[in-house]
Structure 1
Amino acid sequence: MKPIKVLVNADDVIGLLSTQGPLTPAEIAERVQIPRPSVYRLLDGLNAIGLTEPLPDSRTQLSLRWLHLADRARASMREWRDAHGVLVDLVDRTGQTAYLSVLRKDEAVCMDWEQGRGIGVLVLKPGRTLPLNAGAAGRTLLAFSADIDAYLENSDRRRFTTKTLVDDAELRADAAATRARGFAISDEDVTDGIGAVGIPVRSGSGAVIGALSLAGLADDITAERDRLVAELRRSADQLERNVADA
């Protein structure tokens, strides 16, 4: 079990650096509850294989190697090999920012995006995550793919704005409404003034394998919701055909 524990600790350190930025060994030890000597050994190993790099001020940051690894990981997922072109077409038709996200544990991970012609202050970007209780992508995956009972029992739900859903009853009701209408609605629940809509993407067997979403100014999303959902479905159909052909 010892090697597995080392990997778990390394994953905790990498996850911390990915969200907090450069930190000192002391700061890492305090935040992930690992003894400082163990942190030094982990960082020595991570530095040696190029996953982290030391800074002159004794802090450590993630290395640029992660960009290469992310590109290679995405390229290896053959089901999404033509996804970016679909996102570009979707943005051309709608003007809003388009996202392709997948479920990972209790989060929606952005696989790819194409920025719209409007705002540039959106939280979700490739490689970044949002919890399943917030955002169109997360709430799509919560409704159509995740085990909602396990999620509500085990997750820590972060509140981004006053409109973020965190209560069990609210999230169950939202998931049921999302399934009934066929799409999720995010109305300023991640960023004030920003809205989004999302729909599931399915495999040939009908299993939900991702979420396709559009985000922009909340007023614009609300005013054009029916058209945007129709465009999402058109693009999801193309993604599903691509998956079937992969």
Structure 2
Amino acid sequence: MSSALKLLRLLDVVGESEDPVRVADLARTLGATRSEVHRHLVTLVAAGWMERLPDGAYQLTVKAAHLGHAALQHAGFGDRVSAMLVDLAAETGQSVCLAVLDDDATRVVKRAEPGTAAHVTLALGRRLDLRFGATGRVLLAFADPAVVAGLRARDVDVPTDAELAEIRERGYALIPETDPDGGLAAIAFPVSGRTGEPSVALCAVGSRTGFDPLTAREPLAAAAARLSRLTTSVDPGADAPWGS
């Protein structure tokens, strides 16, 4: 089990990199030996998950993209959602994404950019902070309390109970004014999955100097409600219209 978890953690780290990765860099990030990292990479290459480049670096194959797409399908988010996100990005003029809880962060699993130059690009696979990210704040606000308690037990920095209660009351989350980065503005709504519990966050994000997130509140709320209806009542493989 320990070896399998280490291999999966390696995949997580590779997925967070925009460029091919090298054994030494992975070993340093993971706190592992080069031989251990190399052994895992050889396994992933043999399984078809990664490939070795002529310069010695490694990169993911399209098999990883296929699994990610399948995960979205299983969660009820079919290809039709892409068009919806594109429309929402055009309407708000900002980057729009879907993100899910991923251990001590949230991870972008689908995104769209406006037709004009975007202030912020949310790359697929990017991990976002739970304490100061709008997606993490809204997902934790509506999560099982045991999830929040478990994160706190591991000393993961999460919003206070008062903050989470406030987010639940108003139904959406913003990046707080206390954000140490201070350069981003975002608003995120929860989207219910097939179990009826929010498992995905819909978010619009832009530069704090050029984007008032409250201007996107109504279109984002409507889109989140539409997505919730889609995932809870419509077969993702069907071709039913959006309104059904």
- Paired amino acid for 1:232: L
Distance across 1 between alignment mates of 2:207 and 2:5: 40
2:239 is matched with: none
* Superposed displacement of residue 184, structure 1: 0.4
1:18 aligns with 2:11: no
Distance across 2 between alignment mates of 1:28 and 1:66: 18
1:173 is matched with: 162
Compared CA separation, residues 100 and 29, structure 1 to 2 (3 A): closer
* Superposed displacement of residue 27, structure 1: 4.2
1:8 aligns with 2:27: no
* Superposed displacement of residue 220, structure 1: 4.6
**Are the equivalent residues in 2 in contact too, given 1:135–1:190 (CA < 8 A)?**
no
* Superposed displacement of residue 105, structure 1: 2.4
1:228 is matched with: 216
Compared CA separation, residues 17 and 109, structure 1 to 2 (3 A): closer
- Paired amino acid for 2:204: L
Compared CA separation, residues 209 and 241, structure 1 to 2 (3 A): same
Secondary structure of the structure 2 residue equivalent to 1:122? coil
The one of 83, 86, 94 equivalent to 1:85 is: 83
Percentage identity across paired residues of the two chains = 28
Distance across 1 between alignment mates of 2:176 and 2:120: 13
Distance across 1 between alignment mates of 2:193 and 2:20: 39
- Which stretch has the larger CA shift, 130-139 or 120-129? 120-129
Unpaired segments ≥5 residues, structure 1 = 158-167
TM-score scaled by length of structure 1: 0.77
Secondary structure of the structure 2 residue equivalent to 1:67? helix
Compared CA separation, residues 117 and 174, structure 1 to 2 (3 A): farther
**Are the equivalent residues in 1 in contact too, given 2:104–2:156 (CA < 8 A)?**
no
Compared CA separation, residues 71 and 193, structure 1 to 2 (3 A): same
- Per-residue Cα deviation, 1:161-209 (whole angstroms, up to 9, x for no partner): xxxxxxx6x6333222211222101157385432011111124764212
Compared CA separation, residues 8 and 139, structure 1 to 2 (3 A): same
1:199 aligns with 2:189: yes
**Are the equivalent residues in 2 in contact too, given 1:133–1:139 (CA < 8 A)?**
yes
Compared CA separation, residues 15 and 101, structure 1 to 2 (3 A): closer
- Paired amino acid for 2:93: G
Q: Tell me how many residue pairs correspond in the alignment.
A: 229
TM-score scaled by length of structure 2: 0.78
The one of 122, 126, 131 equivalent to 2:124 is: 126
Task: Judging by fraction of residues, say which structure has more helix.
Answer: 1
- Per-residue Cα deviation, 1:17-73 (whole angstroms, up to 9, x for no partner): 333554443443444343443333222222222322234444433334433433344
- Paired amino acid for 1:177: E
Unpaired segments ≥5 residues, structure 2 = 236-244
